[in-house]
Amino acid sequence: MIDARESGTSTGRYVDKLVENLHSLKSGLEIIILTKSPRMDFFKQTAPNFKTIRCDIREFSFAEQYGLVWKIYGIRNDLVHFTMTQQPVLYFGNKVTTIQDLTTTRFRNPAKNWLVFSFKQLVYKWLVKRVAKKSAYVVVPSEYVKRDVAQYAKIPSSKIVVTHEAADKISEPAEPILELDSKQFIVYVGRPQPHKNLERLVEAFLLLKQTDPGLKLALAGKRDVLYERLEKKIKKRGIVDIVFTGFVSEGQLRWLYENCAAYVFPSLSEGFGLPGLEAMIHGAPVVSSSATCLPEIYGQAAHYFDPLDIDDMAEKIRQVINSPELRGRLVKKGLAQAAKYSWANTAEQTLKIYRKALSR
């Protein structure tokens, strides 16, 4: 059984693509998908030969600890793949767990109540260690996370398996964003959590404006409390030419990637760094933080900076947007780098893990 309750979210893309490609493999295994009501039809269409069971129990809830465990026991599985760290601690059956990274153990969310979040973070830290120890295998997206989890949870690296993820070319037609059309701009796509390092990106942008006054910065992502706070800070300081796009459609996202002067990824902590690969597969030159897994995943296809050094960040972006030769080289290398990863390979590797876990 595969726990796919996160299906349809940004983090749930992993399980969506995994299930789709596992279905294509025709493994001979009886696979059950556990998902929420709005995603039932999605899995019936993408994986019609798998059995889909409705489960509307929220992640990080008390019901997850008590209601979900009885639901899973009632289905009688030989193996459960929890595609996220959060899971019932009272489930003692055979299981495989995917841990995308340990970012949540190290950074807090300032949009949440400090006391409540601190308590939940402590619980989460304990859960990560317990899950890692109790799982037959732990699946991670990069060698960096493999080392990190092994050290953090104090488990042998032999039970941790790396299965890379992948980027897909957007099929929808490119749809321009009017505020940026015919303008030179750099772009970041994603959430505004503290580890994404957007405040330093804003400071680097101000340095860039000294030499490139016509440049704009696009911050693309669904508006939430943290984006609203950042936007208020920027307006209060009188900073111009920063465009908060809010949620963007697939067509708009494709247009951003295809028309930006550079895709900038300033993150302090990542498990795989999928947005940079998405930018690469659409022909965007990538200027990236050198933190955690990013050099491992992007290889020679990105221009790197120290994410804690605003001057270095600004200079590396400046080098890319002002050098057609460097931009062209990064675009070419980026296309080749993104092509190294595929969801089909992810599914094949995951199926091998299932068979190993079932044979224990």
Tally helices (H) and strands (E) across the chain: 14, 13
Q: If you average pLDDT over every residue of the chain, what do you get?
A: 95
Asked if the structure places residue 91 within a domain, the reply is yes
Residue 115: per-residue pLDDT: 81
**pLDDT value of residue 63:** 83
| Same domain for 203 and 71 | no
Tell me, what amino acid is at 201? Answer: L
- Looking at the fold, whether 154 and 286 belong to one and the same domain comes out as no
Are 101 and 239 part of one and the same domain? no
Same domain, 91 and 195: no
Structural domain span for residue 230:
185-338
Residue 174 lies in a domain: no
Same domain for 271 and 350? Answer: no
CATH number of 297's domain = 3.40.50.2000
Mark whether 128 and 47 lie in a shared domain.
yes
291 within some domain: yes
Regarding whether 318 and 194 lie in a shared domain, the answer is yes
- Residue 137 predicted with pLDDT over 80: yes
Q: What angle do CA 139, 145, 147 make, to 5 degrees?
A: 105
11, pLDDT greater than 90: no
Question: Concatenated DSSP letters for 80-117?
Answer: EEESSS---TT--S-EEEE---SHHHH---TTS-HHHH
| pLDDT, tens only, 261-308 | 999 999 999 999 999 999 999 999 999 999 999 999 999 999 999 999
**C-alpha Rg value of the chain to the nearest Å:** 21
Whether 119 and 231 share a structural domain: no
Give the predicted TM-score (pTM) of the model: 0.93
Residue 180 lies inside a defined structural domain of this protein: no
**Reduced to 3 states, what is the DSSP secondary structure of residue 251?**
helix
How far apart are alpha carbons 261 and 279 in whole angstroms?
A: 11
Q: Report the pLDDT value the prediction gives residue 64, as an integer from 0 to 100.
A: 87
Q: Are residues 16 and 143 in the same domain?
A: yes
Across the beta sheet with 51-54, the strand order is 51-54, 32-35, 2-3, 80-82, 95-98, 137-140, 160-162
271 and 307 assigned to the same domain: yes
- Sign of the C-alpha dihedral computed for residues 171, 215, 330 and 193 taken in this order: negative
> Are 146 and 157 contacting, i.e. CB atoms less than 8 angstroms apart?
yes
328 lies in some domain: yes
* pLDDT tens track for 235-265: 999 999 999 999 999 999 999 999 999 999 9
The proportion of the chain whose per-residue pLDDT surpasses 70, expressed as a percent, equals 100
Residue 179 included in any domain: no
Confidence check: pLDDT of 142 > 80: yes
Q: Residue 173 domain-assigned? A: no
Contacts of 182 (CB under 8 A, 6+ apart): none
Q: Does a structural domain hold residue 176?
A: no
Instruction: Specify the number of domains making up the chain.
Output: 2
- State whether 37 and 158 are in the same domain: yes
Q: Are residues 110 and 196 in the same domain?
A: no
